[in-house]
Structure 1
Amino acid sequence: MDRALEMLVFCTVVDKGSFIAAVEPLDMSKAAVSRHVGALESRLGVRLLHRTTRRLSLTEEGRVFYQQAREVLSLMDAAEGAAASGSEEPAGVLRVNAPLSFGIQHLAPLWATFMKAHPRIELDVMLNDRLVDLVEEGFDVAVRIARMDSSSLVGRQFARTRMRACASPDYLSRHPAVERPADLLAHKVIAYSHLASRNEWTFTGAEGDVTVPTVSSVRCNNGDTCRAIGLSGGGIIFQPSFLVHGDLRRGDLVEVCPAYRSFELGIYAVYPSRKHLAPKVRALINFLVAQFADTHWDD
């Protein structure tokens, strides 16, 4: 059985969250999907997925294999893209959607380089934090920042980021210490409206996963605004490292609960279909993979 196909099937099942949901993007039956994953587990001699009637979850071996398999598939896509680019030059209008803060901080400085490399592409970039429907709204590519097991993702991961709970030294000097997640209960926080877990913040420590309900003094749908309030001493924020890594390195923000880690998010280039990927879309995806290859916001 094709090892690359097994990896693709397995990763698609993980991305989509179930065997049934993987049927359409893979264009194969549920039985075939199950057969490929079963064959992969048999060949490796380990269980990669915990299966229940309600949901799938990765085993520890499955999590490691998923990350490495994703890298292999990305390299294969890049190789195919390099070969295809020689036969058809990327051209036409390329409609891209991206989150506001990420789009301004990390994508905007790259667009000129991309346009110089692909002069026949006309970029149409829209920034917002709303979850757009790519097909209905006519986008070729969207940048999504989400958990890697999200069932809504179809595309390639090109970077990673981690949520960081932090506050300014001024705020921390005037309020009770925050050494453990439970200490957050004594604080009002600066909440981000689009956080998937709403007002619940999750951390991992020596005792395992810990989730605490938070109470907000401010709620906002923009990460830059939350960051600005945090920098001004307004409270504790919970924002991704791509947004606050510079503040943390300079000491303008300080991470709270230092013995705990919050959850990691993948940053994906998402597109409507794996089939017959347009050269302009492939060009952008390969560009993003190359540009963010050495990004380490959590060092």
Structure 2
Amino acid sequence: MLDLGDLMVFAKVVETESLTKAGTQLGLPKSTVSRRISRLEQHLGVHLLNRSTRAVTVTQDGALFFEYCLRSIGVLRDGERALQSRQHEPRGVVRVAVPAMLGQSLLGPLFARFLEQYPDVRLVSVVSDDAVALLKGGFDVAIGIGPLADSGLIAVKLGTTESGLFGAPGYFERKGNPQTHVELPRFDLLAAGTVDRRQRWTLHADDQAVTVEFSPKLICNDLLLLRDAAVSELGIASLPAFLCKHDLAAGRLLEVLPGWQTPELNFFALFAEPREMPVRVRSLVDFLVENLRPSLSWEIH
């Protein structure tokens, strides 16, 4: 069987017309170049080069074989470039876990744009707030909401969204409108959570901060449900900007105690090992960093 390395050596000798120059360019001793040429000639059963103390010239058979060598080397280089290109172009499957509050409202449209931009990528998306378990189970990346617990995972911040208190105009027509935070517990308040117990909101404005404790009318761990309950005139809810800005613009919701905000939410891309991150995963993370932040703001696109 032909040794591809011998073909490269032969082609370089023909190009340079010298065993010494070929060896220098290939990083090989002249003796090794000579031995590999002799092995190639023995394998083919023909004389490829005329060698003298002054020059190296190619024989007729050598010239014919040189043409085929160039074609073969060209094909190999094309293959090398193709593989290198694959390593820099996102392709393959990305498995991503997303929190419920983002999956339906923001990430769906962004994923569609990402797949349009990278047609060779496929996404497997699972709605789950247990990022650690899914990453340990083989997922590539998970979207987490901070503050983050110490899990040993690597985190890249995707963006921040402000939050505030909102209710429907119809609710305020029936119940009135709180003028200070002290009045809030007298209203129907809707809280995020999973346990039936008294809740606490921390409100801040500039350098001021106050705490409001209350027994909620509704407790749930789905912000979309909280938003729908507020729009349906059930009460007042703490909602992030990205989830309620369209309702606010359309008049379906009104801000309560303007200037006071509830704590902002930070979103992160979580993954286990950055040094082993494939291009397809890095491309998704970079895409979210660039495109998710504007969506999290109050700005309407």
Paired with 1:86 and 1:194, the residues of 2 have a C-alpha distance of 46
Cα distance change on mapping 1:141 and 1:206 into 2, 3 Å: closer
Amino acid in structure 1 at the alignment position of 2:146: A
Between the two proteins, the alignment pairs up a number of residues equal to 214
Corresponding position of 1:202? 202
User: Deviation of residue 235 (structure 1)?
Assistant: 0.6
User: Deviation of residue 187 (structure 1)?
Assistant: 1.9
In the alignment, structure 1 residue 225 sits paired with structure 2 residue 225: yes
Cα distance change on mapping 1:90 and 1:198 into 2, 3 Å: farther
TM-score, normalised by the number of residues in structure 2 = 0.63
**Conservation of the 8 A alpha-carbon contact between 2:142 and 2:270:** yes
The alignment partner of 1:216 has SS state of coil
Paired with 1:150 and 1:180, the residues of 2 have a C-alpha distance of 34
Cα distance change on mapping 1:166 and 1:276 into 2, 3 Å: same
Gaps of 5+ in 1: 1-83
**Conservation of the 8 A alpha-carbon contact between 1:159 and 1:268:** yes
**Conservation of the 8 A alpha-carbon contact between 1:177 and 1:183:** no
Cα RMSD, aligned residues only: 2.7
The alignment partner of 1:183 has SS state of helix
Amino acid in structure 2 at the alignment position of 1:138: G
User: Deviation of residue 292 (structure 1)?
Assistant: 2.8
Corresponding position of 1:260? 260
Aligned positions of 1:126-145 closer than 5 A: 126-145=126-145
Corresponding position of 1:104? 104
Larger Rg: 2
Paired with 1:232 and 1:274, the residues of 2 have a C-alpha distance of 44
Cα distance change on mapping 1:244 and 1:129 into 2, 3 Å: farther
TM-score, normalised by the number of residues in structure 1 = 0.64
Corresponding position of 2:241? 241
Amino acid in structure 2 at the alignment position of 1:239: L
Paired with 2:207 and 2:283, the residues of 1 have a C-alpha distance of 44
Amino acid in structure 2 at the alignment position of 1:165: L
Identity across matched positions, percent: 30
**Conservation of the 8 A alpha-carbon contact between 2:164 and 2:260:** no
The alignment partner of 2:276 has SS state of coil
Amino acid in structure 2 at the alignment position of 1:276: E
Corresponding position of 1:156? 156
Paired with 2:85 and 2:155, the residues of 1 have a C-alpha distance of 19
Corresponding position of 2:171? 171
Once the two structures are superposed, residues 173-213 of structure 1 have per-residue CA deviations (whole angstroms, 9 ceiling, x without a partner) of 22243232222111231221269x98211111367221211
